[in-house]
Structure 1
Amino acid sequence: MNAFSGWRAALRMARRDALRAKGRSALVVAMIALPVLGVTALDVTYRSSEPTTAEQLTAEMGAADALFSDQQTGGAIEQLPDGTAYERVEESPSESEPRSDSGPHTELNSDSDSDSDSDSELPVDIGTTFPKGSRAISVESVPADVTTEYGVTSTDIREVRTSDALVRGLIDLVRGEYPHGGGEVAATEPFLSATGLDIGSTTTVRNSGRTYRITGVVEEPAALRNQALYADPGAVIAPWQAVAAHDKKVLPPNTSPRDWLVKGPEGVGVTWPDIRRANESGVLVKSRQVVLDPPPDSEVPLARKNRGPYGADAGELSIALVTVLAMAVLEIVLLAGPAFAVGARRSRRQLGLLGTCGGDRRHVRAVVLGGGLVLGGIGAVAGVAAGLGLTAVFRPMIEEWAGRRFVSLDLRPAELLGIAALGLITGLLAAFAPAVAAGRRPVLESLTGRRGVRRSSRVLPTLGCCVLVLGVAVAVLGGTGGNAVLIVGGSVTAELGLLACIPVLVGLLGRLGRGLPLSPRMALRDAARNRGRTAPAVAAVMAAVAGSVAVATYMSSSVAEKEFDYVPTMTEGTVVLSAAFSVEADIAERLPQARAAVERNLAVTGERADYRRVWAGSDCNVYGGEEADCGSLRLVLPTGKGHACPLSGKGAGKLAARLSADEHKELMRSPACLAVGSPAAMFDSGSTGIVVGDRTLLDVHAKLDDPAAAEALAAGTPVLLNEAYAKNGEVTIEAVHRYSAEDGKNRDRHPGRPRTTADRIKVYVAPAKYAATPGTTLIMPQRAADRLGLHTAPAGSVYTAVHPPTNAENQRTRAALDQTGGGIWFRAESGPSGREDTALLILTLFAGVVTLGAAAIATGLAKADAEADLGTLSAVGAPPGVRRRLSGLQCLVVALTGVVLGTVAGLVPAVALRLVDLRDAMAAMRQFPMESAYTPIALPWGTLGVIVVVVPLLAGLLAAALTRSRVAPARRTG
């Protein structure tokens, strides 16, 4: 028998065996097909979500041939053919360097010459730059406040003729009708979901007072999550401008530069000469024809300047993604191992008969490997086909998740064949170990079903421990050096080393059963005696859990880093109501109505602290009144030891590198460094953290429960929250009187440079920890402001909130505040973002499902192998529940062992990836000493608790529940 005929016979036997045991074959095919399905769906989704150049152009300009945009540079420009960068012609190369940004309208060199004539910046008549015989429609957007079902919200309103064929691909109708005329708009689905509106509802643009009816739902295929309204040109902006022209209280619309979608002459399009002519008027053009077929560099003046590449390669995979993909491939190989262990165990008698007919070990191995080849091929084809079908079925859901519509499913035959080959190789690799074991098994043992006496090899676990240590060291070395190859190689090597140790670890489980009741003792001994089926199942669980734990640990650590570095802009658990520093004299009179609106619509307690703003100079406003501009106030930071931040001087980078994360954060929150950081003025007081208030402001905002501080305020002494500004119990307040340079009256009335005056006053210095109070440095009583001759006015209130405002509460409160007359708003502290919670939940579910599946396979194999033992138990009078408890405990042993080892294996790449982040953070901190380099390794205890405790218990309970208590008598075959 030659090699080819031997393999042909082996494949024929494997095919017949697969047809004979259809249930077992289906199990093996499913275990191979499922990973292949996932990889196929991931590949098609990734390729489809990455738009081609032509698809990206359609997303930017719809069905038009070009996108024209006046950059208002006041002169001619030179641009790259793809329209991603440009520069003014009159600028010399030595004065500016081109740069590339993500947007299609990025100016390489922004000329901010304040001495240039403002008339030169007027927009050109862009219509004269269009090619002859072309057609164009305008696109313009403006942010606006609109009414909703709940109240008022802010959104973008875009004026473009949505019914025009040129916008197809840029804007598409989902349901309803396109807007027509001046009283209709269309909305995106996210806008309707957030506002409670729908087709037929009306919304009012608060800025102009015009009401519009929503006629349809549209979407931007490239940005499905955008919240926006669409109207015909002239429907929103023009009425708003007309109202603003007659009512000075209404601010004019802050429109973006108008773009034009241009359809070139039929059969010609917009060519490079057309772009050059438009560039002479300062108009930037992105042409579909030119981007897809760019001119040579010799015809591009900007490219002839021998500048470097204008953008970085965005196709490079991140270190974290490469690591996850490598572990996923390893997981695919291991998942099919238990299934082939089932086949080899169930076919041992047939393989023994092959030996009695003259077959040697090579033929036995060939039959088992043939089974891997047959079932692997079927699983690969089925997995690819199912992956394509499910991707097509769930395409809308995937598009919503990705945030963009797929123009088409991008199927790449070479990649799909590679995935199918991976499934085939997976089948062979998974069948390799059972094939070797079957080839070594004596013929008599196979025929009788006896297992024989086996001794564990000491070489494999010793080698595994060495490989484990080596892999950990390589991964850590790669993390400290930022080397992706070392991190991936080390992580996979460490996991392989741990895999080699699994048989010995499983063997040790048998010793743990001494002294335990019957069922757990039998479960542990059965797992130890049948390592050939237990070890692959444990390995499959370990591989799935390792990948999930690695990603979950990395994400949990990133969340902990953000929480550690987060600097609140407001005191936690508060809501601030603020009134604008405006010329309107009645704004302070409207504050009681605004307070009532907040108390009625937000979940706030009865604790409220009113505050006043303070300024110097005459009775005026910050925007410049008819008499004079207001004088601003600021606290002067003293010089000398104790008043300077160590992280802002010479040698700060070296000092920061020597500090621990906690020491660095403590130093950053010290009074001196907080004074250098200049936290934003939360109350918009027109000064540097100086506000007028009483003891309620100490309680509600500063959370300063100090009777001495309250007494000081009552006695007319200001309370200083940041002690760095104090010297000998006093602070210096500087008033700078500035007068509007654009106001001719003020310039004539107050010639010369701004006046500066300073006063030193006694203060009560609060403990150092209150220096971190957001946006507030000094709380001044009204008596002190009067004594210094400063001006004050009611400005708002601070409330204690029960919970952060919801979306509906925000909209209702905004509507109520607008009814008071405008110029008053509110803010709440939202805290650090927690978007990773959903991803952690998905990872937990994935690991749980795979763990349950692998444990179920191992339990099914155990039941098949243990039929004789279970029959013996029944014969000697064991209760029927023993069978059920034994199956549950067998499943529990496999699942628990796998998740514990998987948790250990998953920490290796997670730690290595965090070391990469630490390396980058330390480099940034040496350059910017006030930036934190805190890079923790935070374990996701919630996820680990579910995986390590809940999932194994659930697996055991399900196995016990699905196992029959009694077994039908069977013919003895031993």
Structure 2
Amino acid sequence: MGRHSTDTPATSPASPASHGSRLDRWRAGWRVSLRMARRDVRRHRGRSLLIVVMVGLPVLLLTAGSTLWFSEDLDAAERLPLQLGQTQGYLVDPLDSAIHQLVDPRTSYGTGPDATEPRAKVIPGYASGQEAGALGRLVGGAVHPVTLSSGTARVDDRSLRVEVMGVDASSAAAALSPKLSLESGRWARAADEVVVTDLGLAAGLPRSGSVELRMPTPEGRSEPHSVTVVGVGTGYASWGAQDVHPVELVGLPQTGAIERQWLVERATSLTWPEVERLNTYGVGVYSRHVALNPDTMVLPPDVTLPSDSSALFVVVAASFGLLLLTTMLAGPAFAVSAARQRHSLALAASNGATRSQLRRTVLGQALVLGALSAVVGAASGLVLGLVAASLTHGARPDHFFGPLQVSWSSVLIVTAAGITSSVVAALVPSRGLGRLDIVSVLKGQNVSAPLRRRVPVLGAALTAVGIGAVLFASYRTADAYIYVYLGGAALTVLGSLLIVPLVLSLVARTAHAMPLPARMAAREAGRHRGRATPTVAAIMGGAAVLATMCIGLQADTERGARTYTPQLVEGQGIIDTPQALSREEAREIVRAADPDLVSLTPRTLMPRADGTTVALAAAQPGCSFAQTAPQIAYDPNSSTSPGDALPRCATIASEAYFPGSGLVVADADELSDFAGLDDAQRRILVGGGLAVLDPAVARALPAVTTQWQQSTPIAQLRPVDIPLDGDTSSWYLYSFKTDDTGRAVGSSVRQSRITVPVVKLDHEQWMRVLGGGYGGVGAFLTTAAVDRLDVTTADSATLVRGRSAISQAQEGALRDALQARVPDGGFTVERGYRRQDGFILAIAIGMIALIILVATLIATALGQAEAAPLLGTLAAVGATRRTRRALAASQAVYLALVGAVLGVLVGLAPGIAISRIITATYTEGGMDFSTVIISIPWLQILAPVVLVPLVAGALAWVSIRRAPVVVRRAT
């Protein structure tokens, strides 16, 4: 009876933990671990809050960023109302040939079945001024023309670039909403009336009154006219299927607009068969129905619609980065947390707790803290993102004009990455509990287990394989080898992580030569490798990424600097407009911007009104006219290979066939001022002379070839040699007409010879008047000489220079003056090669430096918390606050410095390999490694490596401000 009553509870169903299934026991174990984890989080709020910040902050930033991104990035359903209003779609002006479009009418997939472009069908009644009626009959509905033009609005003394959408909104406001909406006032009813939008108001346009507006004419000119603001509203324009953007002004449709669409208003949808029918008339269609239902399109088997998965790719990539970042940052915290629990875990082990139960204790805390951190970070990020999007809409209405949007899939991915990173960060210290020395821990001897030899050996092998893989991939051309490079880089980092404990142990053994605080820090890290290794690993990973990135960017920068070819003398500028300015207009604009600036507007010879071409060519000794005149001597439809030597009779002519052979016309005074000629040179030019480079200087320059090498510096551009008879030059003056192939008709050629005086320019004067494009100029002929020859000329781009290099202020003033006259005009100053990645590099260095600093400070803070009994003992035996500060600072500097130095060494091989990949030249025969640039920017790499540990040490020094509480120690 007694034996039976004793055995009954053991066989009772009330003991599932003992006789349940393995799954039941696993669930019961995790329930206990999670319950203990929740209690530990509440008991140690400070440490828990620290981990919540480390894990939750990246989650917050990514969630807020994804909310901002998706609020700015509109999908098709969000774009269509702003593109089409309530209409069924829009048409674009017909082409001469039939088309085969995709969703976007500007994208096509091929021609007809016979591989030719069939002529488009004629649209009945389509003619200038009758387009709307003809297109309306073609589609069976009403069409509303919408134009888009760019111009310049003058407000007070400022010029603003504006886009003007032209549409008769007063007659179709209901059909065009919300593409157009009116907040106050009325729509424009006349050509001199406009409605200003929120974007225009943000740019500085007034709510009412008049504005001076310059718009391009069909001839390419721009004329100022005054417009009256009659209302405030919103308007959205669209360049294509993927684009929608707000405009500054809304007026009536304009002639000469850069874009014209015809919105289709009817009851039925524009289906794909009807789109194909309209394509036969050369009319492109953007259909609401097709955009929302792309599966209704019938395309050839070899044609597929492009898919846009960039958003998901970026989110997944960012989440992977979050996983690595938070794992590195949270690793030290969980390592210290596991170390603090060693005593309680040893007691549990002594009472029968299994290895898996001990691990679940640490992993349960990571799971609870990770879930709490990720949820708090995601919720805070959502709120921050929505608030930021709302505020940004007011500051940047050109970007944030769509509905606020939360991508829940992105939020879930980021949250899951945050939770996973916490568990991964706790995985390493939890694995270390399997080697827990219960007796040593209960005695208070908290020392890491002896280092296993095979771990660093494996690490060295993985590192060697990784370095070999990245270098091997740098010698290969196939795109698939990028995966070899990435795999090699991952193996290099992984192997280096396995070597870190050995490095800490070796440094600790050789620390006797260090000062006392540094010696104690090194030995402390060597004894507690389980706590120090994650910290060093986090710092090493950041430093390795920094080194790789800096080396790669430096190589790319040096390649850009070596291959950059200035097109002007440094400090000079060039005015670029859709239609060249006249000399008088250019001089007026330049002088209005700054009287100290001078301009040079070159001219080229043009055919006469009757189609006769009048040309000039310098006579070459021993060459007949037929061998010299390029239009007669050379076939305009043929080409020569780069590097070919010039023909014997090649010469300078008004129609250039070779680099350095062009004859340019310029005003004598303008050319003299621009080149800085002396009085004697000026007198010759004013009399109708020719300006050439001094032959003595030209002979010292590289020889001219048949094709211009773009990499030739402007200082080495050489004109084609022509003979000089003292201070004069002999030229052929000839005229001709051309046939359909562009060749001169022999019976129409008329020629004579003329002699012109010559001015020889020194090299500095010559370079001032050069533009580097197409190999430079051969000679400059003055307008006085051309006027006597009855030759028609056309103006080219205007060069600008000052007494010294054009300053940023002068550049801005001239650009404003230019765009006030020509809205689409641009002004570029040659300032040599400028690095484009400086801002990105600064951000990357700052972020990585912040990671190193945060990881170091966290490890130092947690280490100091764990070392509180030791600090108390030191204080009890007379250690001053200065000594304790030195210990804390030394610990921070030591860990940061070891991790940073290891990271730089680890990043060298991937950095050198990526330098080879991006600077090698890809040729038909393979890769040309003669162009490889390997340059290590030690200053950029070592500055964070040295400064960040010092900053961490200084902060750790300051953090020790009070005496520790002396308690009784167990050992």
**Pick from 209, 231, 249: which aligns with 1:230?**
249
What displacement does 1:540 show?
Answer: 1.7
* Residues 519-538 of structure 1, C-alpha deviations (whole Å, 9 max, x = no match): 33333332333222121012
Q: 1:877 to 1:318 in 2, by over 3 A?
A: same
- Over 3 Å counting, the alpha-carbon distance change for 1:369 and 1:311 in structure 2 is closer
How far does residue 863 in structure 1 lie from its aligned partner after superposition? Answer: 0.3
Instruction: Tell me, yes or no, if the aligned pair for 1:271 and 1:290 is still in contact at 8 Å.
Output: yes
What per-residue deviation string (whole Å, max 9, x for no partner) do you get for residues 584-612 of structure 1?
A: 9xx66777655532424xxx57xx5x757
Counterparts of 1:842 and 1:962, CA distance in 2? 28
Q: 2:458 aligns to what?
A: 463
- Partner amino acid, structure 2, of 1:13: M
Corresponding residue of 1:159:
166
2 CA distance for matches of 1:527 and 1:689?
Answer: 76
% same residue: 25
User: Counterpart in 1 of 2:217?
Assistant: none
Gaps of 5+ in 2: 1-16, 19-24, 215-221, 629-637, 705-718
Query: How many Å separate the matches in 2 of 1:823 and 1:221?
Result: 19
Given residue 351 of structure 1, which amino acid in structure 2 is its aligned partner? L
Alignment of 1:561-960 (within 5 A): 561-575=559-573, 593=588, 596-600=591-595, 613=602, 622=606, 624=608, 631=615, 688=662, 690=664, 718-719=692-693, 724=704, 725-727=719-721, 737=735, 753=748, 774-775=772-773, 776-780=776-780, 798-799=801-802, 800-805=804-809, 809-814=813-818, 828-829=829-830, 836-906=837-907, 911-918=912-919, 921-923=921-923, 936=933, 944=941, 947-960=944-957
What amino acid does structure 2 have at the position aligned with 1:444? V
Amino acid at match of 1:952: P
Residue in structure 2 matched with residue 203 of structure 1 by the alignment:
211
Q: Deviations over 1:11-57 (max 9, x none)?
A: 33233222221211222233333344445455555666654333344
Code of the residue aligned with 1:204 in structure 2: it is E
Offset of 1:337 from its aligned partner?
0.9
User: Structure 1 142/296 Cα, relative in aligned 2: closer, same or farther at 3 Å?
Assistant: closer
* 1:426–1:327 distance in 2 versus 1, CA, 3 Å: closer
Asked if the contact 2:126/2:135 (under 8 Å) is kept, the reply is no
Name which of 185, 194, 208 aligns with 1:185. 194
Distance 1:492 1:823 in 2: 49
- For 2:907 and 2:315, the matched residues in 1 are separated by 14
Match of 2:114 in 1: 94
Q: Is the 8 A contact 1:615 1:631 kept in 2?
A: no
Match of 1:350 among 331, 337, 344: 344
Q: Residue 133 of structure 2 is aligned with which of 122, 127, 139? A: 127
- What corresponds to 1:101 in structure 2? none
Which residue identity lines up with residue 808 of structure 2 in the other structure? P
CA shift in 2, pair 1:925/1:495, >3 Å: same
Letter in 1 for 2:149: V
Structure 1 residues 815 and 710: alpha-carbon distance in aligned structure 2, compared to 1, 3 A threshold: closer
Q: In the alignment, which residue of structure 1 is the partner of 2:47?
A: 24
Instruction: Please state whether the residue corresponding to 2:853 is helix, strand or coil.
Output: helix
Shift of 1:968: 3.1
Task: Name the SS for the 1:64 alignment partner.
Answer: coil
The 2-side partners of 1:335 and 1:527 are apart by: 18
- Give the whole-Å Cα distance in 2 for the aligned partners of 1:213 and 1:734: 58
C-alpha distance in structure 2 between counterparts of 1:857 and 1:926, whole Å? 50
Structural RMSD (CA):
5.5
1:333 to 2:352 alignment: no
Q: CA deviation at 1:210?
A: 2.2
Q: Does 1:271 align with 2:255?
A: no
| CA deviation map 1:191-237 (0-9, x unaligned) | 6666x544447431233432124554747598999795422214xx3
In structure 2, the partner of 1:535 is: 533
Letter in 2 for 1:970: V
Other-structure match for 1:104? none
Q: Structure 1 residues 634 and 261, CA, compared in 2 at 3 Å: closer, same or farther?
A: farther
Instruction: Give secondary structure in 2 for the equivalent of 1:846.
Output: helix
Give the secondary-structure state (helix, strand or coil) at the position aligned to 1:460. helix
Q: 1:615 to 1:386 in 2, by over 3 A?
A: closer
For these two proteins, the number of residue pairs brought into alignment is: 871
Rounded to whole Å, the distance in 1 between the matches of 2:691 and 2:103 is 66
Q: Is the 8 A contact 1:186 1:231 kept in 2?
A: yes
- SS, match of residue 209 in structure 1: strand
For 2:516, the equivalent position in structure 1 comes to: 518
* One of 484, 487, 507 as aligned partner of 1:486: 484
Match of 2:13 in 1: none
Counterpart amino acid of residue 211 in structure 2: T
Deviations 1:332-387 (A, max 9, x none): 33222111012112222221221333334443223222222332333333333333
Letter in 2 for 1:528: G
CA distance in 2, matches of 1:631, 1:558: 46
Task: Please name the residue that 2:407 is paired with.
Answer: 411
Q: In structure 2, what residue type is equivalent to 1:409?
A: Q
8 Å CA contact 1:597–1:816 kept in 2: the answer is: no
Distance 1:498 1:87, change over 3 A: closer
Q: TM-score, normalised by structure 2?
A: 0.74
Structure 2 CA distance for partners of 1:910 and 1:43, relative to 1, 3 Å: farther
Q: Match of 2:707?
A: none
- Does the 8 Å contact 2:544/2:906 carry over to 1? yes
Q: In 1, Cα distance between the equivalents of 2:262 and 2:102? A: 19
Tell me, yes or no, if structure 1 residue 144 matches structure 2 residue 135: no
* Residues in 1 aligned to 2:197 and 2:812: alpha-carbon distance in whole angstroms: 18
Partners of 2:842 and 2:68 lie apart in 1 by 21
Matches of 1:326 and 1:796, distance apart in 2 = 51
**Which one has a bigger Cα radius of gyration?**
2
1:397-448 deviation digits (Å, cap 9, x = unpaired): 78869945454525344x6445444333323322222123233232232233
**What letter is aligned with 2:50?**
L
- Secondary structure, counterpart of 2:405 in structure 1: coil
Contact 1:380-1:424 at 8 Å conserved across structures:
yes
Shift of 1:169: 5.5
DSSP 3-state at the match of 1:852: helix
Secondary structure of residue in 2 paired with 1:964: coil
The residue type equivalent to 2:289 in the other structure is Q
Output the CA distance in 2 between the equivalents of 1:797 and 1:373. 66
Question: What amino acid maps onto 1:532 in structure 2?
Answer: G
Structure 2 residue matching 1:359: 3-state secondary structure: coil
Residues in 2 aligned to 1:407 and 1:221: alpha-carbon distance in whole angstroms? 17
TM-score when normalising by structure 1: 0.74
Flag the 1:817–1:294 CA change in 2: closer, same or farther, 3 A. Answer: closer
Cα distance, 1:311 vs structure 2? 5.7
Query: Could you say which residue in structure 2 is the equivalent of 1:440?
Result: 435
Unmatched tracts of structure 1, length 5 or more: 97-108, 238-252, 617-621, 641-647, 653-666, 743-749
Read off the aligned partner of 2:964 and give its amino acid letter. V
Shift of 1:184: 3.9
- For 1:327 and 1:45, the matched residues in 2 are separated by 19
The answer to whether the 8 A contact 1:60-1:170 is kept is yes
Structure 1 residue matching 2:148: 3-state secondary structure:
strand
Confirm or deny: 8 A CA contact 2:559 2:919 kept in the other structure: no
**Contact 2:198-2:232 at 8 Å conserved across structures:** no
CA offset at residue 763 of structure 1?
8.9
Q: Is the 8 A contact 2:98 2:282 kept in 1?
A: yes
Residue 565 of structure 1 aligns to which amino acid in structure 2?
Answer: T
Indicate how the Cα distance of structure 1 residues 707 and 348 shifts in structure 2: closer, same or farther if over 3 A, else same: farther
The equivalent residue for 1:291 is: 291
Structure 1 position 972 matched with structure 2 position 946:
no
Seen in structure 2, the aligned counterparts of structure 1 residues 316 and 231 have a Cα distance that, compared at 3 Å, is closer
1:657 — aligned with what?
A: none
**8 A Cα contact 1:541 1:850, kept in partner:** yes
